[in-house]
Amino acid sequence: MNVLYEVHNGLYINFTNRCTCACTFCIRQSRDHMDDSGSLWLEREPSVDEVIALLKERDLSKYKEIVFCGYGEPSERMEDAVEICHYLRGVCDLPIRMNTNGLGNLSHREDITPQFKGNFDAVSISLNTPDPVRYYELTRNIFGIAAFSSLLDFTRRIKNYVPSVTMTTVSTTLSEQEEEQCRKICEGLGVKYRIREFQK
Ligand code: SF4
């Protein structure tokens, strides 16, 4: 199983294939890997101990950051992610980021944002669109149209616990006007806005 993989100078952790969305643009639909990762579909979820054992095999000094991001939503395993962060904090000074759909509070039915405190240096949250209905159409999430307001609330809350918070949209998927609306949403929330490259 490809639990750890490299993208540029980052070491990525792929430890779940679970996700509460089924995004129309998800690369999982068109390919099974990122760069040289090999297939990111897991035969089963690795335990925390297994992930840590794999991390121990790596020379962490080679990397600029650790990123929880794979073929699934990392916050689905929030407690396990925190345990892995605790291990990493003990052995290296690398910044740790999570790329998330921002729906973890709905999924866990509680506010999980305090769990990021001290464990994550950055989070990247998929905004996708400025419009709640369009958001639902694009993400096909299991929670419905109300998910969009929860996403914004998650972002507002996580800012209290994580130094660097960025919301993202994908290039070529929005009009300039929509991107401007996204920029305003991010400004209102006090977080950064980034348009990330479209990946086929
Ligand atoms: S949230 Fe991410 S992993 Fe989940 S379906 Fe959307 S793009 Fe894919």
Q: Please report, for the chain, how many H helices and E strands are present, in that order.
A: 6, 7
Report, as an integer, the average pLDDT of 155-174.
95
- Cα 107 to chain centroid distance, Å, stands at 14
Which residues line ligand 1 at a C-beta cut-off of 6 Å?
Answer: 19, 21-23, 26, 28, 72-73, 101, 139
Separation between Cα atoms, residue 173 and residue 61, nearest integer Å:
37
Q: How far, in Å, from the CA of 85 to the mean position of ligand 1?
A: 22
Distance from the CA of 33 to the center of ligand 1, in angstroms? 14
Report how far Cα 191 is from the mean position of its chain's Cα atoms: 15
Cα(20) to centroid(ligand 1), Å: 8
d(CA 113, CA 107): 12
pLDDT at 200: 59
Q: How many structural domains comprise the chain?
A: 1
Check if the beta carbon of residue 122 is closer than 8 Å to that of residue 166. Answer: yes
Q: What number does the ligand 1 atom closest to the CA of 139 have?
A: 6
Q: Encoding tokens for residue 175? A: 């009009």
- For the stretch 44-68, pLDDT in tens is 999 999 999 999 999 999 999 999 9
The residue among 22, 16, 120, 139 whose CA lies nearest residue 70 is 16
- Calculate what percentage of the chain has a pLDDT beyond 90: 88
Any residues with CB less than 8 A from the CB of 124 and at least 6 apart, and which?
97, 98, 99, 100, 166, 167, 168, 194
Instruction: Please tell me the pTM assigned to this model.
Output: 0.95
**Which residue's alpha carbon is at the smallest distance from atom 6 of ligand 1?**
23
Atom number, ligand 1, closest to the C-alpha of residue 101? 1
User: Ligand 1: which atom is nearest the Cα of residue 72?
Assistant: 3
CATH number at residue 38: 3.20.20.70
Summarize the confidence of residues 98-121 as an average pLDDT: 98
Q: Could you tell me which of 134, 130, 103 has the C-alpha nearest to residue 188? A: 130
Q: How far is the CA of 9 from the centre of ligand 1 (A)?
A: 23
In terms of residue numbers, what domain contains 138?
4-196
Closest CA to 163 of 111, 105, 119: 119
C-alpha 57 – ligand 1 centre gap (Å): 29
pLDDT recorded at residue 31: 80
Distance of CA 96 to the CA centre of its chain: 11
